[in-house]
Structure 1
Amino acid sequence: MDPLSIVASVCALATALQVWLSARAEQSELTHTLGLTVTRIRAIILPFQAEETVARLEPTVVDTFRGLGEALARTRDHLVQLDGGEPAGQEPGKQKGVGRGKGRDVLLKTFNFLRPAEVAKKLREDERQLTNQLVLVLFGVTMQSFFQKGEPGRGGASASASAREAMGGDVVLSGVKNEEIREFWRDYVGAKVVCVPPQIFIVSIKTWFKAGLPESTCRHLLLRLDEYAVGGVTPHSLENLVGEQRLRDVIEGFKQQNEAKSHELAIDSVPRPFRHSRDSATALPEYTVYPNLPLIIWVDDMPSNNIGEVTYARSLGISVIELTSTALAKAWFEDNEEFVRANDTPSRIRVISDNARYESDSVLPAPSPPTVSPSQPQSEDSFYLNMSAGEHILRYLRGRQYRMPVLVYCGWSIFTTQYVLQYEEAGSTVGTHVVRAYCEALAKRKSSDTFWRRFSS
């Protein structure tokens, strides 16, 4: 992505978040605080979206915008999860029947798996990272300005090198809590590197790990670390993967999981949902029940467009869970990780996603793309029209090494779905007959059907 596109996308995302948060500022102290932080970010970065201004930014400074964009995107996902407690048009407290399997209804609290306390904890961490990333942007811009204006006749590559030199490791790594990550980044990436290109990061992690990392592991690792496709890996994205664990243990576990063969598992009893605490004294209540298999996770901001196809899938004995945004889909997968990993085969679980959707906490009625500039307010329920929603869910699933098939079912945007060719078990289509055949193969517990695994099948 070119520098102008990077800066413009960050400005647009900050604007959308500000509008959304300002409409909810009175809901809680958390949304109020986040709103103030995002408003400050937007006010500072908007002047940089002018083409002539971006053209003067050094690569090091552009990298700080990549990191800020990643932090804003993660915050956006968590805000959708926080506000996604009830489907649009549904009375609070009422459940929605979203699945049917083995001839009987499966009542799922589809949105109640979102635990506000856990999401709020993530958002507090998001606020901290947003502040840290803003500091990096300001520091980078200040240093570039100093070396270009403070030393007559000095500019270009010389100024860029000086800016990188001034970008001290204590600034870049100031927000990283995991000491092992700090040491790895200082010794193998560079203490003054804000965002490292993917292939350079792989060389660094291979050199550090020493035990060898297969190419498939590296590919999935990059999808996980660059979940929002910012074009690089930051110290914070690495820490988001590792958390408080040892970096070596996480990479070794990632390698082992990638090398594990996909196979059918016989499960006598369905495991309990994964929880952060197994302590009975602090155990969380059950927010979800497992659906019957086979199962389709259907992600589309306009479920009404798929009534015929969903009804057909359920008539075949398939359970269908409908989710209206990428963020809600991520939350569902995280909350049901044990169940999904135990059944992660094409004959048990599949995904259908649209390609372009409004990422929001509710189903939006707008039928056409908005004509909203980054400086204009949007609908308070809408973040933006995500033209890469299909690829985003693919990146998320493959980055977590889920092997389940993903079919992107869309209309006018089909020409933009050639990305499916870059992923395993992926395809795209505009045809209802393809979707029905895809469902039929799942109902028959097939694993080797390939007719849909291509672009525009």
Structure 2
Amino acid sequence: MDVFQVSLNTWLGGNLAIPNGLLFQLDEQGFGGVTPSSFSRFVGSKSLTQVISQYTNTVTIPTEQEADRLIIWVTENSADYVASIDYAESLDIKVITFSSLAALKSWMQFNHHFVLAVANSHRLRFISDSARNEGGTFNPAAGELLLRFLRGRLLASPCLIFAPAVETTAYVATYERAGSTTDIQILRGYIKALAEGVRDLEWVGFNV
């Protein structure tokens, strides 16, 4: 793994610390190395630069008055939600997508103060799959782990689990400002409410 880190850092220009979240994704079995199969799954159909940017891009910290409205969407298939992402962006909402919780965690380490600024201005919402493949391993509790992570970081921003099936998402009822749905209209309403700056409740709860 040390040789891989040095090689990757050299390829990136030699001035970047490789985030732990990125290494975790590559070394999915925890044996201290990178296999061709894990590397291929990690990169997928994107370029290596695009994938790594999920872990390393930093964002200028805005004041609460300057903060854009932001949706952070964690899904393994963002291409499936292009129409909804376009809808959000048409309402002047910035959408940042991540393919795994590990990628989001690493990005948030770099952008912690930015996330807090947007969250404190009530201009941040999260959307997630209920389950997804992460690093070649199926994670049936992906949505719950995201909620646990956010609330553990004292981020009370709304979080909606949106997926084709949400029967296993009853856990949302144990969190404030959390919900799950399969209904595209509920999703669109959730997005629109962020654009309008209103505190809506239609999406809150299990399988609404």
**Global fold match (TM > 0.5):** yes
Where does residue 75 of structure 2 map in the other structure?
Answer: 300
| Aligned-residue RMSD, C-alpha | 2.9
Structure of larger gyration radius:
1
Please state how far the C-alpha of 1:114 moved relative to its aligned partner.
3.1
Aligned equivalent of 1:452, options 195, 199, 203: 203
Partner in structure 2 of residue 288 of structure 1: 58
1:346/1:420 Cα in 2 relative to 1: closer, same or farther (>3 Å)? farther
Secondary structure at the aligned position of 2:127 is classed as strand
Distance 1:113 1:429 in 2: 27
The answer for the alignment partner of 2:164 in structure 1 is 411
Q: Retained in 2: the 8 A contact 1:78–1:327?
A: no
2:53 matched to 1:112? yes
**Secondary structure of 2:167's aligned partner:** helix
* Gaps in structure 2 of 5+ consecutive residues: 7-19, 28-38, 62-66
TM-score by length of 2: 0.75
- Residues 353, 346 of structure 1: alpha-carbon distance in 2 compared, 3 angstrom cutoff: farther
Aligned match of 2:193: 441
Deviation for aligned residue 1:332: 1.6
Runs of 4+ in 1 over 4 A off after TM superposition: 75-78, 81-84
- 1:91 maps to which of 47, 54, 58: 47
CA shift at 1:90, angstroms? 2.6
SS of the residue 1:296 aligns to: strand
**Structure 2 residue aligned with 1:395:** 148
Output the amino acid matched with 2:45: G
The alpha-carbon deviation at position 88 of structure 1 amounts to: 3.0
Equivalent residue runs for 1:311-330 within 5 Å: 311-330=86-105
Deviation for aligned residue 1:76: 8.0
2:187 aligned partner, one-letter code: V
Question: Does the 8 A contact of 2:130 with 2:144 survive in 1?
Answer: yes
The change in CA–CA distance for 1:430 and 1:113 in structure 2 (over 3 A counts) is closer
SS at match of 1:416: coil
Q: Find the residue that maps to 2:76 and give its secondary structure.
A: coil
- Matches of 1:355 and 1:317, distance apart in 2: 26
Q: Write 1 or 2 for the structure with the bigger share of helix.
A: 1
Letter in 1 for 2:142: A
* Shift, 1:87, TM fit: 5.2
Can you list the C-alpha shifts for 1:137-166, whole angstroms capped at 9, x where unaligned?
xxxxxxxxxxxxxxxxxxxxxxxxxxxxxx
Corresponding residue of 2:176: 424
TM-score (norm 1): 0.36
Checking the alignment, whether the CA contact within 8 Å between 1:81 and 1:327 is kept in structure 2 is no
Aligned to 1:350: 125
Residue 54 of structure 2 contacts residue 98 of structure 2 at CA under 8 Å; is this kept in 1? Answer: no
